[in-house]
Amino acid sequence: MTAANLLDFDLEGLAAFCERLGEKRFRAVQLFRWIHQRGESDFASMTDLAKSLRDKLGGVAHIKPLTVLSRQDSLDGTIKWLFDVGNGDAVETVFIPETDRGTLCISSQAGCAVGCRFCSTGHQGFSRNLTTGEIVAQLWFAEHFLRAKLGVSERVISNVVMMGMGEPLQNYSALVPALKVMLDDHGYGLSRRRVTVSTSGVVPMIDRLAVDCPVALAVSLHAPNDDLRNGLVPLNKKYPLRDLLDACARYLPAAPRDFVTFEYCMLAGVNDQPEHARQLVDLLRQHGRNGLACKINLIPFNPFPDSGLVCSDKATVLAFAGQLSAAGLVTTVRKTRGDDIDAACGQLAGDVVDRTRVADRMGQLRRLSETPVTWMSREHAG
């Protein structure tokens, strides 16, 4: 019998597993706390569990970490890990420290099948979905690594963004239990407002998330009309803007925040002109009866080889932001973090065997030769 990886379970799943072993629910709570709050992976060290249970667990379960292939530390404190997920696939996870928070950017898939034109991950193609355990293991490892590094016992990671490699809503069945582990008071105890799922617009799954596990929602918009968005975010052909914005409006009553964040990657000469800003204002202000409650996050593009795209210049980004703000849309420009280690938005590439060939590799990814856009951003664009 294959040993169960306990990182695959939310608390309900772990309780069911313990019941199958003839153990009561409170044992599952104890076990869950040992794993997630104390970072313990050795059953023998879980001293308040009965010896008989520890022995039993040793035969049927384990806590399976991901193997770290590399770690890079940015000058600004950002840390990027490359984790081995087997069979030639590796995914990236990024920690971004700020004065008032610590944010972990987590991957949900090895590669991505959406294939957004401006995204390094999208250019790699898709290998497979990560399991719940592989999603949770990124947080489990990072949280306890950081506590040890900083010599603290309290929580270091206060925010999680599902903005690493992959489209989280195309890995829904693994995503939801992972979110529940993050939110559980016996797990990481994160606020729903501080856990963000970022999607390129998988409309049916936005509706399901509102019911199953509502957390903060970010949507990769990147274009103010369907023609342009079809070319940048291919999923738009299946779920066009009107359907996507309708889904956002339906999500809001369940959401922990009273707005949706729209991410908009600034691409020189592609989507950054005054006409695009005007269209964006109309799109969002004229949606429904009162417009859509939202914030817009402008992300200056982080170029990578073979993308064929260039970042809008600073003046253009600020002018675009000004136009949106003047029309009453709350607009921010994302700051760059970790660009010296290719950890910035849209740069996460990992190492993925493209098993679908949906996106033939567009040349070998090389380190950027362009001057980094140091006045802005980090985070993935999708």
Q: Which of residues 263 and 272 has its CB atom nearest to ligand SF4 in the complex?
A: 263
Amino acid at 71: R
CB atoms within 10 A of CB 242: 11
What is the dihedral angle through the alpha carbons of 103, 107, 113, 114, rounded to the nearest 10 degrees?
-10
> Which residue has the CB atom at the shortest distance from ligand SF4?
382
Q: Which of residues 119 and 292 has its CB atom nearest to ligand SF4 in the complex?
A: 119
Residue from 143, 248, 345, 379 carrying the catalytic annotation = 345
Min CB(144)–ligand SF4 separation in Å: 26
* Whether residue 92 lies in the annotated active site: yes
Radius of gyration of the chain (CA): 21
Q: Which residues contact 187 (CB under 8 A, 6 or more apart)?
A: 10, 11, 32, 36, 37, 180, 181
Q: Which of residues 116 and 175 has its CB atom nearest to ligand SF4 in the complex?
A: 116
Residue from 92, 134, 167, 263 carrying the catalytic annotation = 92
Residues that bind ligand SF4 (CB under 6 A): 112, 114-116, 119, 121-122, 165-167, 200, 220, 381-382
Min CB(165)–ligand SF4 separation in Å: 6
Min CB(119)–ligand SF4 separation in Å: 3
Min CB(115)–ligand SF4 separation in Å: 6
Q: Which of residues 119 and 341 has its CB atom nearest to ligand SF4 in the complex?
A: 119
Shortest CA distance to 139 belongs to which of 206, 83, 211? 83
Q: Which of residues 187 and 338 has its CB atom nearest to ligand SF4 in the complex?
A: 338
Distance CA 378, CA 32 (A): 32
Min CB(51)–ligand SF4 separation in Å: 46
Q: Which of residues 104 and 116 has its CB atom nearest to ligand SF4 in the complex?
A: 116
* Whether residue 12 lies in the annotated active site: no
CB 293 within 8 A of CB 285: no
Min CB(112)–ligand SF4 separation in Å: 3
Residues belonging to the active site: 92, 345
